[in-house]
Amino acid sequence: MALGSYLSVTLLLSVWAIATCNHIPEGAISMECRNRYLMIAVDLSYTDDKVHFEAVDETGVYPITEQYSAECGYTVSVLPLQGHVELRASYFSCHTDNKDDEEFTFNFNLILIYEGLKEMYALNETCSPSLPWSPREVTCEVNYMEVSVKSDVACPTGTKKDDWDAAVQTAYTSATSDWQVMFQKGDQELMPMNISEAHEQNYAFDLTDGRLIFRTPYGQPDSFSTTVNGVPVEVVHATLFSKQSWVVLMVDLVAACSVYEGSYKNGYMMWETPEVLHPLVSGQHNTHVNIGFDGELVEEAVAEERGYIVEKHNSTVYISIPYNAEGGYRKTCVSGDLNEYFIFNLYLAQISVDEDHIDTRLHFHRTLATPLLPRPVFTENKTVVEESTFTVYLGDVPDDVVLVAVQLNGHDFALPFTNTSTYTISKVVQPNNTHSYTLKVPFDNPVVIQQFSKENAAMQHQLTINYTLTVQPENDPYYHFTSVTALTDVSPPTFDAVCSESGISFRLDHRPSDYLWDISIGSDLLTPELAEQRGYIMSNDSQSLLLEVPLFTEGYEYKDFTLKGFFGTFEILVRDHDTAEVQSSAAKTCPFTTTELIVCSPDGRMTVVAHLSLVVPSGGIPARVNLIDKYCGPKEADSTRALFSFPVNACGSRVMLSKEYVTYENEIFFSKKIRAGKSKSDPRIDTDRVTMKCTYPLAGLHRLFSVYRFESDTAGVGRILHSAHSGPQSPTMEPTTGLQTPLSTTRRTRRPVSIRPGYYPPAQYIQVSSFLKNISKKGAKGSSQVKINTASY
């Protein structure tokens, strides 16, 4: 037979509020008729645990206290795991209106305290059991035992003869027309008492149209404890008797319940009860057991599917419930570590048939619980170094535990994070009633500790995390610690560069890994000696390296020359300390302006911006000046200056060799009259000129006359000589990296020289002048052939 038919009831429900303020919504109070009792549940989310019930009948209102509930057949339990307060009222409870043992009407007052105000709700319910009453029924509630028997049950056959004879003798000699009760407690002398006296001792007796009811709390003075098959059992044996004329009426009422508290073993909550609790309670011939939870039985197939186990061994029934079985409740708690426990509200129905074929139905309500079990959460480092972000997974978090804050390397952060934070945390609900959190913190976040690991020659990123979790609804805190590290390849140092009118400044903030790298200018390591030699201004302390590079010092590259200015680029190389391979560079290009300059580049190009105010007469046009080769004119000119850029061995340049240097010289002319055929040194020629020279060390020249491409290790040293009506000055120049700013002069005086190091553009093929070919024929040994490449300048 389907179990649903066991629990089908006729339900009439009426709930209304007496208080003027009704804050509890519909559905917060539920009432349900069960097989042998009424269940009322009040949702705790709309009240607190200070819930009181009152039983109401035509005689008055009776508060249901702890003692009164056990005496009158009520059980009140606060069940925080289920989230409600529960009242179970026996169909034979004290103030129930009973009609022929078939219809039971209940009336209660529910009293709540809400925001300091008392509210009262009147509840009534009428129930009818679907199963017929057995001749004998015993209910083992958590706070009382209740026995009901049919009033026409024959004398029991299971009573010991001596006990029965003694009871009859006592009853016969002391019986009156009023009902009396006599308790049997082993070999103790039996003293009868009337019903009112028994009631004063918290015993309850009631006689309905067809049944006799006996109810007793646990631990009464007249109860006794015994052991049946090793299982503790509490027994109260009462005999009711009354003398009617010469006949003595006697009824044996025995309440016996297993008081085994339960145990836990190998993942199972276990409970035991003897098949025969007492000869007057259950028979020895046939026993059938059904199991369920929360006061409702389940089908045997369902129980088996859920892992409920019912076994019988040596006349004992063994119940085993998996700790996490469906129908149970789980709760997390903090007791040093994070723990959990499970509760199962066991409901068991046992039907026994004795030798007289009288069946006895027993109902057990027992709460089984596990001890505290470890409930650890775990963290997993899911960081992918290439993403440059810590990814830490916090998993197996119970559904009644929430994450409220995290501490990252000592910095506290409440959840949720702000939208502006670079770290994030996300929650994912898992199918096993748990959830997880994923924390992401970038490596470059300020809270991350970064230290260079010499052992690994890598940068170590470290993040210590303290998760603050709270158990709900108590808000008990629990802290979970973890620490994660990640190693990343050390990046080369990075310079910050700033332009100024006089040059470029570089700054490098020191890091522990700096020893892995060498800083160089070109192929030369940057040292204090190199800086002093080249005119750099360098300061280096434990915090940073500062390098100021004045314009025109060695190492610059120049481009885009115009009369308005030019661009200068200075590059610092970062090399691997062991292999000297270039790993990175810091190049800064800045715009500069100057009135006059000369650049002698390593590829053999002379670039000159010359001031011609003393060369070009008033009213003259600088654009009409030219070099020694009259066809070599300026690329750009304004009212006072002209820009020339040409290969050092073109445009009629003169070449002068000394023991260690080679000098290329050219001149800028503005001729009022050029007399062909005259020597350029003829003083009669009225010509003003500016002389330009580029000097290169011979040791640094790879190719000079043997091939057509000019190539030098270093830039040459240049000078500009302003003169009038005097022959060109051709001193031999020692290479220098200094910058000499020309002084203001007047006509017909020797001008100071501006000396500039050259820049380093890619080598270009240039045309070799006939003068250079002649020098080659006279001074060079071996082949004197020179290949001419035509190029325009």
For the chain, give every domain's residue range.
4-132, 133-375, 376-488, 496-592, 597-779
Average pLDDT value for residue range 541-558: 92
User: Tell me, what's the pLDDT at 139?
Assistant: 95
Provide the whole-model pTM: 0.63
User: Going by C-beta distance under 8 Å and a sequence separation of 6 or more, which residues neighbour residue 265?
Assistant: none
**Is pLDDT larger for residue 5 or for residue 474?**
474
pLDDT in tens, 581-615: 998 999 999 999 888 889 888 888 999 998 887 77
Domain 597-779 in CATH: superfamily? Zona pellucida, ZP-N domain (2.60.40.3210)
Distance in angstroms (rounded) separating the CA atoms of residues 56 and 93? 12
Inter-CA distances, 497 with 492, 545, 590, Å = 16, 12, 10
β-pair type (389-398, 378-381) = antiparallel
**Could you tell me how many residues make up the chain?**
793
Inter-CA distances, 190 with 167, 174, 243, Å = 8, 11, 18
pLDDT in tens, 484-507: 999 988 888 899 999 999 999 999
In this model, does residue 775 exceed pLDDT 60? Answer: no
In this model, does residue 550 exceed pLDDT 80? Answer: yes
Average pLDDT value for residue range 526-544: 94
Average pLDDT value for residue range 650-671: 89
- Fold for the domain defined by 376-488: Immunoglobulin-like (2.60.40)
How would residue 687 be classed by pLDDT, with cut points 50, 70 and 90?
Answer: low
**Is pLDDT larger for residue 716 or for residue 766?**
716
pLDDT in tens, 253-271: 899 999 999 999 999 999 9
**Tokens, residue 375:** 């409930």
The amino acid sitting at 428 is V
Burial of 224 (0-12, 13-18, 19+ CB in 10 A): middle
How would residue 22 be classed by pLDDT, with cut points 50, 70 and 90?
Answer: low
User: Tell me, what's the pLDDT at 70?
Assistant: 95
User: Under CATH, to which class is 4-132 assigned?
Assistant: mainly beta
Average pLDDT value for residue range 635-664: 90
What are the residues facing 84 on neighbouring strands?
Answer: 43, 79
Whether 376-488 shares its CATH topology with 597-779 is answered yes
User: Tell me, what's the pLDDT at 582?
Assistant: 92
How would residue 247 be classed by pLDDT, with cut points 50, 70 and 90?
Answer: confident
User: Tell me, what's the pLDDT at 218?
Assistant: 96
